[in-house]
Structures are given as structure tokens and as C-alpha cells.
Amino acid sequence: MHPIAIVHDGLTVVDGRVAGHDAGATLVRRLQRLFPGSALVGSRAQRADGFDVVPLELVDPRGTVVVNMDVVSSPMVWRTLAASGAEPRIMNFVWWNTSQFTRPVERASLALSCALFPTFANSQRTATEVREIVFALTVPQLAERARIEWSNLGIRLDHVQPREEPAVPVVLYPAIRLSERKQPQLFLDVVERVRRRTPIRVEMRLEESHLISERAIRLSRKDWAWVGPLTATREDYYYRLARTTAFLATARDESYGLEYVEAMVAGAVGVFPDRPWARALLPDGYPLLYVDAAEAEEHLLRAVTDPAGCRRELDAVAGGDFVAWLRGRHDDTQFEDRFATAVRRWFPDG
């Protein structure tokens, strides 16, 4: 297989490793495990722990496959690499929600990039959205030749730890940012109403920039809430999930929903908005979908007062074992196999 170079703006290398807890940094580390020794494209050349950071101008287009996570920049990447006279090998990795591109120029740029370069998406839902954007905003000659593959990102199942039920039910805010797309105010309104009816503890782990926001500081002053930084390691993260009773999802849209899958496989009971992105994650008949704040409150109240009963309901709609149903559809080895297969098919050796 050709050498791999990964493009993702904003990455930081600390002590020879890709730093950060956000989804982008986590996915870069996953790609590094999948393609050992793969380079990262950065502003200056440096040697890290088992990989190189190289400026784009120094990437060898004759033998390197460039995996671009900043998809709209792929035409620019192509122009830079093609200056040598070789035909660059570039593929897009769409790992985020396409709804973030709202302006016409942004959506047209996304469409053109995904029409010109083979594209791998993080879920079937995202792949469908990408295909629709390509066909809507590019000419048929390009759209009909678009190569789009997908796989659910999945999770590291070997990280999951045995459950330990907390004395006071723990409700998790299932995101690391307080962005408006996540509708954090809806989350706060619902958990506060549930708290008036039964004892709960709310936990919110946030990126530093969101941790110091007014909303986070205001919640941290409540004696039934804990607001703090992201866990230091994946082991600590799964340790906390194994002691989480439930979570309330409030996002308007998601491209996949990795945090929710991780929490549910760890045994937390998930309460979701009745939206297409949520239904794409869940079995038919999932009983804890809400259409408004009042219904969200009732579902969350049940989840924290009778989690065992809720889990039995989830088992019933998933053929007898909800966690096994999730494991069968969200194993990260499936993602890795399909991603590597796509790279080999799109860029065969020789």
C-alpha cells in the first residue's frame, strides 16, 4: 500500500504524539494506528514518535496517498502537489456534519471536492447527505462519477469496563462543547426539572474553551452538578461511563454520534430527540425518543428512577440484547477494514 499523509488543520503534536481529546485528533490517532508511520501535514517539518510532520510542499505525490480531513481544501491540495507534474492521489474523509456548511460557497466547494476526489464518510447518513449535495450542486458529468464509500466509525470495544451503578443516578451531558447545534440550554432546562422531582447528579466534561463559558460556570455553582475538564485518558473516560446512569441528547443534528454509542455500550440509558440522526443509531421501536421538552423530562425521569426497567425495554426492541446489537453495528474494526479496503481500491499499487 502507498504511504499515507493525513491533512487536518489545527493538529498539535506534543511529546511526539498527536494531542487533544476532540473527535478530529482522536480520528487522526486512529488512522495512525491503521496506517503505521503515516505522516501528518503541518506547517513545518519535524520528527515525532513514529511518524513525520511534513509541509504539504514536501509530500511526494508520486507515491503518497493524501487523506484530507479538511475536505473543501482538496482542490488546493491537488494544485500544490500537481505542481511537480505528477498526478496527486487524494481522498476525502468526511467525519463531521455537513449541515455546518450553510453558505452557498461553502456547500458548492464541498460538492465540487467530493465530486472530484473519492470520498469516505463516517456513516451511511453522512454519505447520503454528501451524495445529495454533489448531485444538487455539480454538473451531471461530475456527479455521476463521484466515488463515495462509508462505514460507521464504531468504538474500541475492548475499552468498555464493567458497570458499577452509582448511589445517586448520574446524568451525562453527552458532548464536549456547548455549541448551539447541541442545544445545551434544552439539556439544562430538562435536567433541572428532573432534579426537582428526584435526586440526580449531572456531569459535564468540556473542552477548555467551553469550560470557562458563562453557561458552564453557572451550572457548576449548583451542588448537584459537576462541570470539569475532559478525562485525561480513554481508560478514565470509560471508567466514568461505566458509572453513568443516563444521558440526554439534545443535538439538532449529528453526522454519526460517537459519544452516544460509547455511552450506550457502557450501559448508560440514552434519551434522544426523535430526529433522523438518532433513529439511524437505534433499533426500530426505540422507546426513549422525545418530540418536546416535556416528553424528554418524562423519559429522563424514567431512565434515572428505573434504569433496569428501561434496559429491559431496550433489550426487547433489539432482539433480546441491546448492547450486543450495538456492538455488532459499531465495532471500530469494521470501520478500519472498510477504510483500508477503500484506499486500496481507489489507489492500487503499481
290: part of which helix (H) or strand (E)? strand 289-290
Q: Assess contact for 160 and 133: CB atoms under 8 A.
A: no
Cβ atoms of 309 and 320 closer than 8 Å: no
Please give the pLDDT value at position 1. 67
C-alpha of 52 from chain center:
25
Q: Which residue has the cell 455521476?
A: 144
How far the first Cα of the chain sits from its last, in Å, is: 10
Q: Please report which helix (H) or strand (E) contains residue 237, including its range.
A: helix 234-241
For helices 234-241 and 258-265, the axis angle rounded to 10 degrees is 60
**In the beta sheet, which residues pair with residue 270?**
247
Domain 157-329 of CATH type 3.40.50.2000:
yes
Q: Which amino acid is at 50?
A: G
Grid coordinates standing for 197?
422531582
Q: Which residues contact 45 (CB under 8 A, 6 or more apart)?
A: 52, 53, 54, 55, 58
Give the number of other Cβ atoms within 10 Å of residue 268's Cβ: 24
Element (DSSP H or E) covering residue 293 = helix 293-305
Low pLDDT (below 50) residues in the chain: none
Q: Where in the chain is the domain with CATH 3.40.50.2000?
A: 157-329
Q: pLDDT at position 26, please?
A: 86
* Residue 91 contacts residue 4 (beta carbons within 8 Å): no
Phi and psi, residue 299, nearest 5°? -65, -45
- On whether the CB atoms of residues 335 and 307 are closer than 8 A, the answer is no
Rounded Cα distance, 73 and 90, in Å: 11
pLDDT number for residue 19: 83
The count of other CB atoms within 10 Å of the CB of residue 143 is: 17
Rounded to a whole number, what is the largest CA-CA distance in the chain? 69
CA distance 322 to 263: 13
Residue 82: partners with Cβ closer than 8 Å, 6 or more residues away? 61, 88
Cα 216 to Cα 222: distance, rounded to the nearest angstrom: 11
pTM: 0.86
Look at residue 156 in the predicted model and tell me its pLDDT: 79
**Residue with C-alpha cell 439538532?**
252
